[in-house]
């Protein structure tokens, strides 16, 4: 390299990812070994696994395409983009081989593999930035942006917070014996009751006061006479936030921490209030006691503030989605309660279900409404009119509270989605047995549903009906695949990339349409193929991996890509809110720096590869 070029090279690479993560002395060391290669239009670089001379390439100027051996586009790259990560690994398999072709005159900086490898051996703390596996680079990017430090209660597991331990008693012990065990032996306010090793009940000191002393029950009676039967419990690996919501929804003050029938500890409201001042929990509690729609509307800014705090506090995207879904649930339930006060108690059994991202617990600040009502088959026309009033009240009030009305009208207030149980069964039967383009949108919305109020068994029975239909109609999966792969992720993010043409969102990248929805669709396909009953995107991929439907690398890659893309959306929405703008899924590609471009390139390629794999596995045309 000509010595006079060193300052220019150093200035260039010091501002692009991942070289900007290196200290200045290492940036200078890298710059000193860079060679320069000029490619005319049409020239290409071919990678061979046994080639002793390998490079990591940095595009200084120009445009390159990566093509797989079969000619399929792997990626399109521009200035500041890097390629050659895969071939830093001499054991890279044939599936990752490709050619890089200049589609216009291109100037490349080439970092010799041997020099880069030596540097990373001496400084292993930077090695993950240059990993050959996209999944590791994506995860490292998440760690850089979303540090694990100081995340607080939102990412704590129950096992990290629950410090006390309940008394463990048996169902044949007397009330007096249990009280002695709680007061004098364990010194706890709660006892877990077991029978033949299985948890059958729970008793607290408050229960003792209300059910024993106040009612004059003899303390010689067995504890089984006054205990709470089939008590609620929480897993040690569950989030504290989920536990808190469970407590508030059921008006309880303590939860045994249990896996199987083994008791690991006790989580109490005292643990959370004394140790962690959690804004979201207080909001959920405030929502629970709001008496008017106006009071709920007044809480909208606080909900937005919680979203901003979660993003700014570097909380993982999947946790943000869960927190925002819990808040959404609280609004929805309270409004149903207020509707009952307005129109009277429901005349028959019903289930209010949420669908789409709400059902998956993957809510963001701009999520719209997806809901429906399942009504008991015995309902009369008058009963249905009641539920129409209730649904219209709730949906409109949710809109007033900042939950956008669904543009496609997939809401309980739409008579089409306010139906008796038998009609819903017919809907699913038609969608699954005779799938076509006209019904795929309905199917995609209501393939994931979750009961949040009313008769939960209605939703559970519909799920059973749905999974039975899917197992008997293999064509349905192929139809889903064809639809899922009809939209491709953009394989190049640089210069003036434009995906949306015309209208107010012209010249923007729709991160939902071209990335998030594609991953959700793929998770749905893989989950359905192995009979997964979870609706959550990551859980579906995990289940498919455990069932052997996808490799460990594929599972880690797509999970990492999904988290990174969700993080990018949350950050974009947060920045828009700070500027006083309406948050959305549309991002100006000009706002991407080298960090975003580099990792989006990896994420989009991972999505495209999984789309190809799905077509092969499930018969998509």
Give the tens place of pLDDT for each residue, 481-499. Answer: 988 888 888 876 554 444 5
Q: Give the Cα separation of 600 and 18 in Å (integer).
A: 13
Q: Strands across the sheet with 99-102, in order?
A: 44-46, 99-102, 64-67, 73-77
The pLDDT of residue 402: 92
Give the tens place of pLDDT for each residue, 532-585. Answer: 888 899 999 999 999 999 999 899 999 989 999 998 899 888 888 877 788 888
**1: exposed, middle or buried (C-beta count within 10 Å: 0-12, 13-18, 19+)?**
middle
Position 271 confidence tier, pLDDT thresholds 50, 70, 90? low
Domains and CATH numbers, the chain: 3-132 (2.60.120.10), 157-275 (3.10.580.10), 291-468 (3.30.460.10), 482-618 (1.20.120)
Q: Which residue has the higher pLDDT, 245 or 482?
A: 482
The pLDDT of residue 149: 42
Query: In sequence order, what are the residues at sequence separation of 6 or more whose Cβ sits closer than 8 angstroms to the Cβ of residue 196?
Result: none
Q: Give the Cα separation of 395 and 336 in Å (integer).
A: 10
Give CA torsion, residues 53, 58, 60, 65, to 10 deg.
90
Segment 342-355 shows an average pLDDT of 96
Segment 15-42 shows an average pLDDT of 89
Give the tens place of pLDDT for each residue, 162-171. Answer: 767 889 999 9
pLDDT at 516 over 90: yes
The pLDDT of residue 143: 54
The pLDDT of residue 503: 61
Give the tens place of pLDDT for each residue, 319-348. Answer: 888 889 988 999 999 999 999 999 999 999
- N residues, the chain: 621
**Cα–Cα–Cα angle for 185, 186, 189, rounded to 5 degrees:** 120
Q: Which of 143-152, 458-467, 610-619 has the highest mean pLDDT?
A: 458-467
Backbone phi, psi, residue 217, to 5°: -80, 135
The helix/strand/coil state of 540 is helix
pLDDT at 618 over 60: yes
Q: Which residue has the higher pLDDT, 80 or 537?
A: 537
Position 289 confidence tier, pLDDT thresholds 50, 70, 90? confident
Position 129 confidence tier, pLDDT thresholds 50, 70, 90? confident
Position 136 confidence tier, pLDDT thresholds 50, 70, 90? low
Position 94 confidence tier, pLDDT thresholds 50, 70, 90? very low
The pLDDT of residue 86: 66
Query: In sequence order, what are the residues at sequence separation of 6 or more whose Cβ sits closer than 8 angstroms to the Cβ of residue 158?
Result: 234, 235, 236, 237, 238, 239, 240, 243, 257, 267
**349: exposed, middle or buried (C-beta count within 10 Å: 0-12, 13-18, 19+)?**
middle
Segment 497-502 shows an average pLDDT of 53
Give the tens place of pLDDT for each residue, 370-402. Answer: 999 999 999 999 999 999 999 999 999 999 999
Q: Give the Cα separation of 132 and 113 in Å (integer).
A: 12
Instruction: Flag whether the pTM goes above 0.85.
Output: no
Give the tens place of pLDDT for each residue, 440-465. Answer: 888 888 999 999 999 999 999 999 99
9 alpha carbon, distance to own chain's centre: 40
Position 422 confidence tier, pLDDT thresholds 50, 70, 90? very high
Position 276 confidence tier, pLDDT thresholds 50, 70, 90? very low
**How many helices (H) and strands (E) in the chain?**
23, 20
């Amino acid at each position: 390299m000509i010595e006079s070029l060193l300052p220019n090279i150093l200035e260039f690479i010091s501002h692009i990812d991942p070289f900007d993560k290196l200290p200045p002395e290492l940036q200078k060391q890298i710059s000193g070994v860079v060679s320069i290669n000029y490619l005319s239009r049409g020239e290409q670089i071919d990678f061979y696994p046994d080639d002793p001379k390998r490079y990591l390439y940095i595009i200084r100027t120009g445009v390159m395409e990566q093509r797989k051996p079969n000619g399929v586009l792997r990626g399109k790259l521009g200035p500041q983009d890097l390629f050659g990560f895969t071939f830093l690994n001499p054991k890279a398999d044939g599936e990752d081989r490709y050619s890089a072709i200049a589609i216009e005159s291109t100037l490349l900086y080439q970092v010799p593999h041997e020099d880069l490898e030596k540097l990373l051996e001496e400084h292993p703390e930077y090695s993950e930035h240059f990993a050959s596996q996209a999944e590791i680079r994506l995860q490292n990017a998440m760690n850089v942006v979303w540090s694990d430090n100081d995340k607080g209660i939102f990412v704590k597991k129950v096992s990290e917070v629950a410090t006390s331990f309940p008394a463990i008693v048996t169902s044949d012990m007397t009330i007096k014996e249990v009280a002695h065990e709680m007061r004098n032996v364990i010194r706890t306010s709660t006892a877990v009751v077991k029978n033949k090793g299985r948890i059958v009940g729970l008793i607290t000191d408050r229960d003792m006061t209300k059910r024993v002393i106040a009612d004059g029950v003899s303390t010689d009676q067995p504890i089984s006479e006054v205990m709470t039967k089939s008590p609620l419990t929480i897993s040690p690996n569950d989030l504290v936030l989920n536990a808190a919501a469970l407590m508030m929804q059921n008006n309880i003050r303590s939860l045994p921490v249990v896996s199987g029938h083994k008791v690991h500890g006790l989580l109490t409201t005292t643990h959370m209030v004394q140790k962690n001042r959690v804004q979201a929990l207080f909001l959920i509690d405030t929502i629970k006691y709001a008496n008017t729609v106006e009071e709920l509307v007044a809480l909208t800014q606080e909900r937005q503030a919680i979203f901003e705090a979660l993003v700014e506090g570097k909380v993982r995207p999947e946790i943000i989605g869960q927190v925002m879904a819990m808040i959404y649930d609280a609004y929805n339930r309270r409004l149903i309660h207020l509707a009952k006060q307005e129109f009277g108690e429901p005349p028959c059994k019903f289930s209010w279900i949420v669908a789409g991202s709400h059902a998956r617990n993957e809510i963001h600040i701009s999520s719209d409404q997806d809901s429906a009502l399942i009504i008991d088959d015995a309902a009369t026309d008058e009963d249905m009119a009641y539920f129409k009033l209730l649904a219209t009240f709730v949906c409109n009030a949710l809109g007033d509270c900042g939950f956008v009305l669904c543009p496609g009208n997939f809401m309980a207030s739409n008579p089409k989605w306010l139906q008796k149980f038998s009609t819903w069964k017919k809907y699913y039967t038609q969608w699954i047995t005779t799938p076509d383009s006209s019904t795929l949108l309905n199917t995609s919305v209501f393939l994931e549903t979750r009961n949040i109020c009313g008769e939960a068994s209605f939703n559970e029975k519909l799920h059973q009906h749905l999974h039975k239909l899917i197992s008997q109609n293999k064509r349905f999966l192929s139809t889903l695949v064809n639809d899922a792969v009809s939209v491709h992720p953009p394989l190049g993010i640089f210069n003036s990339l434009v995906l949306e043409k015309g209208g107010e969102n012209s010249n923007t990248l729709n991160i939902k349409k071209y990335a998030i929805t594609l991953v959700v669709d793929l998770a749905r396909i893989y989950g359905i193929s192995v009979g997964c009953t979870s609706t959550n995107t990551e859980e579906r991929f995990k289940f498919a991996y455990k069932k052997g439907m996808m490799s460990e690398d594929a599972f880690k890659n797509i999970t990492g890509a999904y988290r990174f893309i969700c993080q990018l959306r949350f950050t974009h929405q947060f920045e828009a809110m700070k500027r006083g703008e309406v948050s959305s899924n549309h991002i100006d590609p000009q706002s991407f720096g080298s960090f975003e471009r580099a990792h989006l390139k990896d994420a989009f390629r991972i999505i495209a590869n999984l789309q190809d794999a799905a077509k092969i596995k499930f018969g998509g045309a």
